[in-house]
Structure 1
Amino acid sequence: MQTARLRAFSLIEVMVVIVIIGLLAGAVALQVSGYMDSAEINRAKSDIVTISDALDLYRLENKRYPTNEEGLDVLPLKNFKDPWGNRYEYNSPGPDGEPYEVVSYGADGREGGEGTDADIYSWQVREAAEGG
């Protein structure tokens, strides 16, 4: 009569499988994080388009853009914040003869930066929309 041999996984084999699962989970987490960063940047750009449209409507109704003192608070979009929880900045007039400038200072909320910390300006969004 033959006896059945029981074979169990060794501790090393189990540890190798756990390490492989950990590496795969880490890779997935990095990929998802990259998509989240991209989504936040795209939302900030979309918000700037919405704010720009509201500013243009304000001009049609009032024959002028809001002053720096009035800022974005005169628009129907109250307490509008970027994806990182910071207020959008408004400057009038804007650079290079633009009537205004709307800015998100990115995830760090400070001027300058790279990646998600990079500033997003209304003129950049407008140029991208125009294919420039």
Structure 2
Amino acid sequence: MAQKRFRFHRKPGFSFIEILIVIVIMAGIAALVGPALFSKLDESKVDQAKIQMKNLAGALELYRLDNSGYPSSEQGLAALIQKPTLGMVPQNWRGPYLNSKSLPTDPWGGDYAYLSDGTAFELKCLGSDRVVGGEGLAQDLLNE
């Protein structure tokens, strides 16, 4: 009786080892690139906060031109969206002075701090830690 010879036919595809090697290489690349990418994202949040503060400062200047002064601290930034009812109510209010129906929050979800005596103002973003002070990304940002 003749013996049958079995031929092993390899199916096309990748072996487990080949796939594992690719995964290890991809993990290595991610470990090298990831931190740089996340630091750029954090830096972009600082830039975004600075831009929002410049937009708020511009809206405050428009308010001042119409009303001969800035909103008081008591009236706050809300005076840019709706006519104030607290303190000295402006007679020439021509707002809203912002395009949105709500005040913007900083990139970390906090509110911008606003102080004013009517003749000058200070805008502040508390940074990523949302507390006064800090260093690096947690550093407070002031309008300039």
> Do they superpose with TM above 0.5?
yes
Structure with greater Cα Rg: 2
Instruction: Give 1:1-132 correspondences, 5 Å limit.
Output: 19-76=24-81, 77=98, 78-93=102-117, 99-123=120-144
Deviations 1:43-74 (CA, angstroms, capped at 9, x unpaired): 00000000000000000011110100001010
Query: Secondary structure at the residue paired with 2:37?
Result: helix
Unaligned runs of 5+ in 2: 1-14, 82-97
Which 4+ runs in 1 deviate beyond 4 A?
A: 13-20
Q: How many residues align?
A: 112
List alignment gaps of at least 5 residues for structure 1. Answer: 1-8, 124-132
Instruction: Give the alignment's Cα RMSD to 1 decimal.
Output: 2.5
TM-score (normalised: structure 2):
0.67
- Compute the TM-score of the two structures, normalised by the length of structure 1: 0.73
Larger fraction in helix: 1
Give me the whole-angstrom Cα distance separating, in 2, the residues matched to 1:117 and 1:41.
Answer: 9
- Which amino acid in the other structure matches residue 47 of structure 1? Q
Q: Percent identity?
A: 36
Alpha-carbon shift at residue 18 of structure 1 (Å): 5.1
Mean Cα deviation higher: 114-123 or 52-61: 114-123
